[in-house]
Amino acid sequence: MPLKMRKAEKSDIQMLCSLMEDMDYPITPEHMENRLQFVEKSEFDSLFVCEEDGKILGLIGFRIRENLEEVSRFGEISALVVDRNSRLKGIGHFMMTYAEKLAKELNCKGTWLVSGFPREEEAHKFYKSLGYDVTGYRFVKSLE
């Protein structure tokens, strides 16, 4: 069967947690449930899973960002994870294409994402291969 995308559901929590752990972002089922509830209430955020034959192979977070500088909208890929055993099979490309199509449908000017320095070897090469350009740095200050 072909790959398909659908919104993440509560019954997906265990697999979503496993995928996040694959990316070195461990999350408890309780926190994942809270995130799903947040996404459900948000008019800007979505969380999708990619599956084949009922098996979840990846997840992608998508968010609408409104840009005040030029009064435009962008689709932000807020998370992208492919199951460790399913990498290099086109699943990441499939999910990115899905997000770009969704952004166009929602009248976005483009898509963007943030990816940390530790991901330069794999992820950054992948994003560049899809036509994404490095346009700056993200600056963060913890207030905790």
Domains observed in the chain: 4-129 (3.40.630.30)
Query: How is 51-83 classified by DSSP, letter by letter?
Result: EETTEEEEEEEEEEEEETTTTEEEEEEEEEEE-
How far apart (Å, rounded) are the C-alpha atoms in residues 79 and 71? 24
DSSP 12: G
Lowest mean pLDDT among 23-27, 81-85, 90-94, 95-99: 23-27
pLDDT at 118: 64
Q: Which residues pair with 90 in a beta bridge?
A: none
Phi and psi at 75, nearest 5°, equal: -95, 125
Give the pLDDT band (50/70/90) at residue 2: very high
How far apart (Å, rounded) are the C-alpha atoms in residues 62 and 21? 19
pLDDT at 140: 82
- 127 Cβ neighbours under 8 A, 6+ residues apart: 113, 115
| Mean pLDDT across 79-108 | 94
Give the pLDDT band (50/70/90) at residue 6: very high
Tens-digit pLDDT profile for residues 22-75: 888 889 999 999 999 999 999 999 999 999 999 999 999 999 999 888 889 999
How far apart (Å, rounded) are the C-alpha atoms in residues 123 and 112? 14
